[in-house]
C-alpha cells in the first residue's frame, strides 16, 4: 500500500509540476522533493532518504523480517521434532528453563539474533526520525476534543465577496504551460552517441525527414523540476541531452515526455539515474532481486485470490506500464521516424534488468550502462 501511495504521489506531482508554474509551484516542488521525492525507495530505511521513501522501505523491512521469523519458527519446530526422535540427543543442563536457559527451542533464539533482516529493524526508528526532522509537518488542532458548541451570541452571516485570482509578479501567460519551461541558460545538446554496431545510423537521405519531425515536437525542461545542480538532472543532461521532447500519443491530448531523442539513429533516450550506482543496497531493479521475488510462493487471501505484492504489483508493474507507453508512442503512425528506445543507467545491476524488461514487453530497443 505504501509503494502504491508513493508511486501515485510521484505521478500526481509530475502532473501538477507540468501544469502549473510560479512561486507556489516552486514551493510545492521543493517541499515534495524533500518530503516524498521522485527516486525509487531504498531497500533499507536510510537517514538521508525522504520520509515517505523511508516509510516504504520500513514496511518492506518489517514484512521481510516477519517472513524470516516465520521461516525460523518452522525450521525450529522441525529441528525440535528431530531432537525428540533422536535417542542420543541430550539437552545441556544450563539450557533448561529452571536454570534460566531457553530450553530446546530448536536454535530459534540464536537464529533470530543472527538474522540481519531482524537485526536491522533497530535502525528504522532512527532513520525515520532523521527524515522527519528535515520536513516541517502540519500541526494538529489545539481545540479540545468533543462536540462543537455553537456560540451564545449570533454570528453574522458572511457577505459573499467576488473571487479575485492571486496576482503574478510577472505578466501571467494566457494558458499555463502543460510542461516545464525550457531553461534558456542550459545549452541544447543531443544525447550521447550510441555504442558502435548496436543501432543503425540514419543515412543522409533519412536525416531531413527525421529533423523535420523532431523540430515539430513540443519541448520542455526537466520533468522533475530544478536545474543541473540536481544529480538526476545532471545525469540526464549528460546522457540524454536537452531539452525534453513531447511525443504524441494516439487518443490523448498530452503526449509522452521523453528525456531525449538522438538524431544520428532516431532513438529515444531515457536516463535512469540511481543514487546507489554500485548497487551496494541491492537494488530492487536487478535480475537477482527479480528472480528472488518470483521464486517466492504466491500468497493468497481467504478467497484464494493472489494478494497484492509491493514489488510485483507496484514497482515492476509500474516499469512495465512505462515501457508500454513507449511502445504505444512508437506504434503511433505520427511517430514513424522513431527507430527504437535506449535506456541509459548508472546502476551496475540495473542495465540487465531494463534490458530484460524491454525484451519482455516487446519494445524495440536496449539498455546501456554509463557510469
Q: What are the tens digits of pLDDT across the range 130-139?
A: 887 777 655 5
The answer to whether 56 touches 44, Cβ cutoff 8 Å, is: no
The per-residue pLDDT for 298 is: 63
Question: Can you tell me the distance from the alpha carbon of 334 to that of 250, in angstroms, rounded to the nearest whole number?
Answer: 9
Which is more confident, 184 or 22?
184
Which is more confident, 167 or 152?
152
The per-residue pLDDT for 96 is: 60
The per-residue pLDDT for 134 is: 74
Q: How confident is the model at residue 367 (pLDDT cuts 50, 70, 90)?
A: very high
Beta bridge partners of 292: none
The per-residue pLDDT for 320 is: 85
Identify which of 58-62, 103-107, 272-276, 361-365 has the greatest average pLDDT. 361-365
Q: What are the tens digits of pLDDT across the range 297-354?
A: 666 666 666 655 555 555 567 788 889 999 999 999 999 999 999 999 998 888 888 9
Pair 254, 125 in one domain: no
Average model confidence (pLDDT) for the chain? 78
DSSP string, 200-246: PPPPTTTHHHHHHHHHTSEEES-TT-S-TTSHHHHHHHHHH-BSEEE
Which is more confident, 261 or 143?
261
The per-residue pLDDT for 317 is: 73
CA dihedral 347, 350, 354, 357 (to 10 degrees): -160
Beta bridge partners of 365: 341
- State how many domains the chain has: 2
Grid cell of 333 as nine digits: 503512425
Asked if residue 51 belongs to a domain, the reply is yes
Asked if residue 71 belongs to a domain, the reply is yes
Pair 218, 346 in one domain: yes
Asked if residue 166 belongs to a domain, the reply is no
Within 10 A of 100 (CB to CB), how many other CB atoms are there? Answer: 8
Which is more confident, 277 or 14?
277
Pair 364, 233 in one domain: yes
The per-residue pLDDT for 158 is: 52
Asked if residue 120 belongs to a domain, the reply is yes
Asked if residue 309 belongs to a domain, the reply is yes
Residue of 264, 220, 228 lying closest to 244 (CA atoms): 220
Pair 347, 240 in one domain: yes
**Domain extent at residue 71:** 2-133
Pair 229, 334 in one domain: yes
Pair 313, 227 in one domain: yes
Q: What are the tens digits of pLDDT across the range 45-98?
A: 888 888 888 888 888 888 888 888 888 888 888 887 887 777 776 666 555 655
Which of the listed residues 133, 149, 172 is the one where a domain comes to its end?
133
Pair 216, 127 in one domain: no
Asked if residue 38 belongs to a domain, the reply is yes
Is a pLDDT exceeding 60 seen at residue 245?
A: yes
Asked if residue 201 belongs to a domain, the reply is no
Answering whether pTM is above 0.75, one says: no
Asked if residue 321 belongs to a domain, the reply is yes
- C-alpha separations of 93 from 82, 99, 107, 173 in Å: 19, 8, 16, 84
Residue of 363, 314, 339, 316 lying closest to 263 (CA atoms): 339
The per-residue pLDDT for 180 is: 76
Pair 214, 335 in one domain: yes
Which of the listed residues 105, 133, 161 is the one where a domain comes to its end?
133
The per-residue pLDDT for 276 is: 75
Grid cell of 186 as nine digits: 542550459
Pair 119, 219 in one domain: no
The per-residue pLDDT for 137 is: 58
Is a pLDDT exceeding 70 seen at residue 23?
A: yes
**Furthest-apart CA pair in the chain: how many Å?**
91
Pair 228, 365 in one domain: yes
Which of the listed residues 74, 100, 133 is the one where a domain comes to its end?
133
Amino acid at each position: 500500500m505504501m509503494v502504491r501511495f508513493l508511486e501515485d504521489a510521484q505521478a500526481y506531482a509530475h502532473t501538477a509540476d507540468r501544469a502549473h508554474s510560479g512561486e507556489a509551484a516552486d514551493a510545492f516542488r521543493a517541499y515534495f522533493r524533500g518530503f516524498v521525492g521522485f527516486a525509487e525507495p531504498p531497500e533499507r530505511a536510510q537517514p538521508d532518504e525522504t520520509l515517505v521513501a523511508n516509510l516504504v522501505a520500513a514496511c518492506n523491512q518489517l514484512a521481510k523480517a516477519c517472513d524470516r521469523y516465520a521461516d525460523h519458527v518452522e525450521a525450529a519446530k522441525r529441528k525440535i521434532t528431530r531432537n525428540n526422535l533422536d535417542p542420543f540427543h541430550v539437552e545441556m543442563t544450563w539450557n533448561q528453563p529452571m536454570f534460566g536457559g531457553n530450553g530446546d527451542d530448536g536454535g530459534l533464539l540464536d537464529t533470530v539474533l543472527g538474522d540481519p533482516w531482524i537485526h536491522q529493524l533497530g535502525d528504522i526508528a532512527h532513520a525515520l526520525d532523521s527524515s522527519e526532522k528535515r520536513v516541517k509537518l502540519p500541526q494538529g488542532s489545539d481545540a479540545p476534543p468533543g462536540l462543537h458548541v455553537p456560540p451564545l451570541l449570533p454570528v453574522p452571516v458572511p457577505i459573499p465577496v467576488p473571487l479575485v485570482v492571486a496576482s503574478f509578479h510577472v505578466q501571467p501567460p494566457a494558458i499555463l504551460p502543460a510542461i516545464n519551461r525550457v531553461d534558456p541558460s542550459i545549452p541544447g545538446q543531443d544525447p550521447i552517441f550510441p555504442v558502435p554496431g548496436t543501432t543503425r545510423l540514419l543515412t543522409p537521405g533519412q536525416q531531413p525527414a527525421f529533423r523535420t519531425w523532431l523540430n515539430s515536437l513540443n519541448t520542455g525542461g526537466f520533468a522533475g523540476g530544478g536545474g543541473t545542480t540536481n544529480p538526476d538532472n545532471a545525469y540526464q543532461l549528460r546522457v540524454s541531452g536537452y531539452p525534453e521532447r513531447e511525443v504524441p500519443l494516439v487518443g490523448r491530448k498530452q503526449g509522452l515526455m521523453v528525456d531525449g531523442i538522438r538524431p544520428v539513429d532516431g532513438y529515444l533516450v531515457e536516463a535512469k539515474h540511481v543514487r546507489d550506482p554500485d548497487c551496494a543496497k541491492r537494488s530492487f531493479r536487478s535480475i537477482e532481486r527479480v528472480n528472488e521475488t518470483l521464486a517466492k510462493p504466491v500468497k493468497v487471501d481467504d478467497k484464494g485470490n493472489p494478494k497484492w505484492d509491493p514489488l510485483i504489483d507496484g514497482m515492476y508493474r509500474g516499469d512495465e506500464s512505462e515501457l508500454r507507453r513507449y511502445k504505444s508512442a512508437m506504434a503511433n503512425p505520427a511517430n514513424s521516424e522513431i527507430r527504437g528506445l535506449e535506456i541509459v543507467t548508472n546502476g551496475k545491476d540495473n542495465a540487465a534488468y531494463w534490458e530484460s524488461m524491454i525484451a519482455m514487453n516487446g519494445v524495440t530497443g536496449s539498455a546501456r550502462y554509463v557510469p
